[in-house]
A and B are shown apart, each in its own frame.
Chain A
Amino acid sequence: MVCSLEGKLLVGNLERSARKAAAWLVEKRPVRDIRDWGISFSLWPVHFTTACCGAEFAASAAPKYDAERLGFLPFIGIRQCNLLFIEGTLSKKMAEAAIWVYEQMPEPKFVVGMGACAIDGGIFWNSYNIVRPMDILPVHVFIPGCPPRPEAVAQAIIMLQRKIRRGELVRYETR
């Protein structure tokens, strides 16, 4: 393909080259650091309550603990969110929905497993109707507790932010 740009002649696929250049640039310092810093302070969890830890999750977004000061805003639309909180037990019926929700979220996306049940079933470890989240989703941070206190939720957010800023989690694939 030959494109004409302000009178100059360019040879090759311009779109592909631009994509390649952007992908190269966004993985280079300092652009990468700025990008990760930006992502780490705009973590929007999707409103997806899987079990009873949702009560403490709601409390952590409420005035006393105010997770919004960490750039953490529970939001309705899946397509605008980049964080999935597994709030407690994941039943078999809910696991299906969790995968749908996860797949609809845009990249880069993160998963936090909240509560003992999200780690290894917790008090319901031998129940016939639960799924361990790490079997079906890539979980980045676990929060122990039954239920975890809102402080622990804030701690998890900070841990996730650090992980993102260290550049461990965000990878753009060149397509």
Chain B
Amino acid sequence: MISSGERELELLIGPQHPASGHMRLVAKVDGDVVVELRPNIGYVHRSVEKLAEVKKYLQIIPLVERPSLADTTANNLAYVMALEKLLGIEPPERAKYLRTLLAEINRIHSHLYGLGIHGVMIGSSTAYMWCFGDREPFLELAQELTGARLTYSYIIPGGVRRDLPAGLGERAERVLRYMENRMRDYFNLYFNNPVVRARLEGVGVLSRHDAINLGITGPNLRASGVAYDVRRAEPYAAYPELEFDIVTEEAGDSFARVMVRVREIVESMRIIRQVIRKIPEGPILHESYEKLIPPKLRESMKQRGMVKFPSVFANLRVPPGEAISRVEGGRGEVVFHIVSDGKLSPYRMRMVTPSFRNVILFEHLTRGVRVADIPAIYGSLDYFPPEADR
């Protein structure tokens, strides 16, 4: 409302708006210029942390996946890694490679999801259609490996749930070659498009100093020139044995953030190839759990290459203590802090997701930009509200 003598208008964007938005942005605008913008989140707050306190340890795996549906593996892996730290077990080598494989497939389709939604926001429906269409082959791969499209619950304490299906390597190679060809089209149509460049370049610049200061994470951090990646800083799963580069860009603007995602897709494809080439033979579940399974069931599971959630897990008791784990997901670093008191459910589970750490960027980057730049900035952050609200 403009009252007499005031120049500022309050503009409410959302929670019903064309972007993937389950949040409200409260913008104070002076003409076309944003004076101040505050994100109003909590529209998808479903109290994961509280519910974790009344669920058993294994029941929490699906629970932590739900908040970030497009990037479930990161949450699944981070949670299980925290549990494994408390339990003091290390998964077998083959399971580590399978975890890496799924994490990288997930990273690719999570990035494509983000790019597609960004396309919608800046009015390029082609980008949305292409990205969502090309996301499907990767979902199919993940589905073949785990049995689900998005909510895999693939990683369990001490290993993974299924072995590599026969012939997945060749099919993955076909998908990767397809994606490499498509990459050229993406550049021709989208990333080198003068309209897209004009909308994104120089918009929402995040300096290196601010990125560090505000604790930004993931591609948004690397787009500002900080070469931080948990896969390097605290290597987990099979990453110590694999070769990959940390993608960084210097500019820190919306275009740089998009470019980091695109180049990370290429890196992830490189990792997938290595995983498929180097994956060792062996068991997929830690032996101390394997021996708890009745011998007959164990044989049939070995033959079918699957681990059913064995009933021994139902009353998984975790020794008292605290554990912190971090994982580099598609959107950034996922941190789990679990406090156990030796009972069947955690005493306290703190889950900090990358989107929650990046919320602060909404108010930081939008000061003084034009209203039309809000979607260009919002989209480039690859912000997923349910993940931030948990």
Contacts and interface: CB of A to CB of B under 8 A. Distances in A.
B62 A94 contact: no
B17 A47 contact: yes
B215 interface: no
A24 interface: no
A23 interface: no
Contacts of A48: 15-16
A146 B54 CA distance: 20
Nearest to A94: B43
Nearest to A56: B150
Nearest to B18: A76
A10 interface: no
B129 A63 contact: yes
A50 B18 contact: no
Contacts, number: 102
Contacts of B44: 50-52, 89, 91, 94
Secondary structure type dominating chain B contacts = helix
Given A47-B16, A94-B22, A149-B149, A63 B46 contact: no
A147 B150 contact: yes
A2 B113 CA distance: 63
Interface string B10-38: 00000111101110000000000000000
A26 to B, nearest CB: 30
Interface of A, secondary structure class, is: loop
B386 A52 contact: yes
Contact of B18 (A47, A54, A59): A47
A46 B51 CA distance: 31
A62 interface: yes
A58 B21 CA distance: 12
A91 B51 CA distance: 15
B174 interface: no
A69 interface: no
B350 interface: no
B241 interface: no
A101 B133 CA distance: 30
Interface stretch (B65-73, B76-84, B264-272, B306-314): B65-73
Given A50-B44, A52-B44, A123 B69 contact: no
A64 B136 contact: yes
Interface in A40-88: 46-56, 58-59, 62-64, 76, 78
A91 B385 CA distance: 13
A130 B44 CA distance: 9
A29 interface: no
B200 to A, nearest CB: 21
27 contacts: A46-B16, A47-B16, A47-B18, A50-B44, A51-B22, A51-B386, A52-B67, A56-B69, A59-B136, A62-B133, A63-B129, A63-B132, A64-B132, A78-B16, A89-B46, A91-B42, A91-B43, A91-B44, A123-B66, A126-B51, A127-B47, A127-B50, A128-B50, A129-B46, A130-B46, A147-B69, A147-B151
Given A52-B67, A64-B136, 7 more contacts: A47-B16, A53-B69, A62-B132, A64-B132, A93-B43, A93-B45, A146-B62
Interface of B: 15-18, 20-22, 42-47, 50-51, 54, 62-63, 66-70, 113, 116-117, 128-129, 132-133, 135-136, 149-151, 386, 389
Which 6 A-B pairs have CB atoms at the shortest separation, nearest pair first?
Answer: A62-B132, A63-B133, A52-B69, A52-B386, A55-B69, A64-B136
